Amino acid sequence: MMRLWIYLKWNSLSFKVLVIFVWLGLGSSPLFEVTKRLQTHTMKLPIVLILLISATCFGQKRLEGTYDSEKKIFNLPNGNIVKDFRHGLAVYSDYRTDLKGLIDTSGLIKMKPRYYEIEGFGGGLSKVTMKAEPWELSYGFIDTLGNEILPPIYTDADNWFDRSMRFAEVLVVAKDGKYGFFDYKGKELAPLKYQSIWNFQEGLVRVYLNGKAGYVNLDGKEIIPAIYEEAHDFSFGMSLVKKDGKYGWLDTKGLTVIPFKYEWAMNFIGEWAKVKLDGKMTYIDRKGNTKLASEFDGIGYYRDGLAWARKDNKWGFIDSLGTIVIPLIYTKTGNFENGRAWVWKDTKWGHIDAKGNVTTPIMYESASDFGRAYNGDSLFASVKLNGKSGKVGIHGNLAIPCEYSGIDHFSMGMAKVKKQVGEKYKFGFVNYKGEEIIPCIYDNAERFKENRKVALVSKDGFWGLINQKGKEVTPIKFNSIYDKEDGTYQVRIGADQYILDENGKRVEK
């Protein structure tokens, strides 16, 4: 038992130092005796130094593997990887305890596993999670040395990807439903008393207290009292708020810059904000001046120089002066995208250009916006006719016939399509010309991802890889396939798992 106790305690640095001093005979000596005894142990000093260095380093383990500096991943012998290195550190798992720790790029364990989760470092800090009960989590923050900046005692906390850490360098946390924030050293700035804390913008953050909104600064000082029924983030020195049922705008000192008189309002986009006054919709500038003389029941935002407008349940388009340039004759319209807008008239759909010319015949059961394909070289919109989907080109030509139950976006020049074959749905792929390059014979399929030469397909419960010509790169025999970030594929067949490249070649056992 004594040997076991000594073995377990050896990982304690203070215990190691104590053992060394006892060995020297210094463990119980007064200070004036220490110097004397050190003089008599001159020959032991080199050994002492070696033991002290060993005491410091002993117990620090290193994971076996190699670091790929180009991909910033640490490759483990079992084929798994440790990724997302930041500040030279990454999170690794102890699969025996399901706890997380930290390693550096050499594989050296910098912090032994002790947290349920550790997020990627941002700004030199990481949010950590502890798990007390199966459904009870608590949060805190550590630095790159593993020191706890905030202990994991909070029921909610931002991470680096939230606006508080990225743009304000504060840590927003909550306990018992009350929010506050701390600085990066763990100093409390705003006490935990708010119902919620939102985005930091222009030195102020929106907070809610007792159901009302206000603003505090980065030091936690309340600059604008929490008296508003609704509030938005600051932009260009102004914020939209609601008080006593009316909307207006404040500056960063809490002074009213646009009066509280609007029944409804949306925040500024560019130099204009959409508002409702006396039941009519219009735009105002940042001084509160009205932009449109005409009165509309509804208006949209400007795209390609035009905005939709509605009056007496008829839709059309106006220019920047409020002049009607496309007559209000439609049941409904969309916004202009890439010089086209969908329109709905008398239960039928089509597209028009910015001059009001019909480009896609108004004959379809539905029509979508025009949007660029994933690889950015073509423009298509989905349409539906007789319950089947197809795609039209920018000039209204039927590029893909309406004979499919569903059509995906284009990616790598191919679009996945779904077709009913007998009583089942099958998947295949078409090109820009509507040619079914890969026939609809698969039970399931995933799209060709950007910069990937193959796609995942399945038949009868098994998976395989095909290229863009429909040729099988691998037999369709795997129980599962997962595409990895490095461009390879992890496959499983029975209990056997291994890695394939895009050519179907096995690259690892």
Give CA–CA dist 325/164, Å, rounded: 45
Those residues whose C-beta lies under 8 Å from the C-beta of residue 345, and which sit 6 or more positions away, are 329, 330, 331, 362
Q: What does the pLDDT average to over 82-106? A: 90
Is 469 a residue whose pLDDT tops 50?
Answer: yes
Q: What is the pLDDT of residues 154-192, one digit of tens each?
A: 999 998 888 788 788 999 999 999 999 999 999 999 999
Is 474 a residue whose pLDDT tops 60?
Answer: yes
Is 46 a residue whose pLDDT tops 50?
Answer: no
Give CA–CA dist 246/261, Å, rounded: 5
Is 423 a residue whose pLDDT tops 70?
Answer: yes
Alpha helices in 25-94, H assignment, sequence order = 31-40, 45-57
Give CA–CA dist 415/436, Å, rounded: 10
Is 264 a residue whose pLDDT tops 90?
Answer: yes
Looking at every residue in the chain, the average pLDDT score rounds to 86
Per-residue confidence band for 17, with pLDDT thresholds at 50, 70 and 90:
very low
Q: What is the pLDDT of residues 49-76, one digit of tens each?
A: 444 444 443 445 899 999 998 888 999 9
Give the residue with greater pLDDT, 45 vs 140.
Answer: 140
What confidence score (pLDDT) does residue 508 get? 65
Q: Is 209 left (phi over 0), alpha (psi -120 to 50) or beta?
A: beta
Is 13 a residue whose pLDDT tops 80?
Answer: no
pTM of the entire predicted model: 0.62
Closest CA relative to residue 200, chosen from 190, 209, 191, 185: 190
Are residues 77 and 67 in contact, defined by beta-carbon separation less than 8 angstroms?
Answer: no
Where are the chain's structural domains? 1-59, 452-509
Q: What does the pLDDT average to over 2-22? A: 41
Q: What does the pLDDT average to over 295-300? A: 88
Is 40 a residue whose pLDDT tops 60?
Answer: no
Closest CA relative to residue 380, chosen from 410, 348, 339, 417: 410
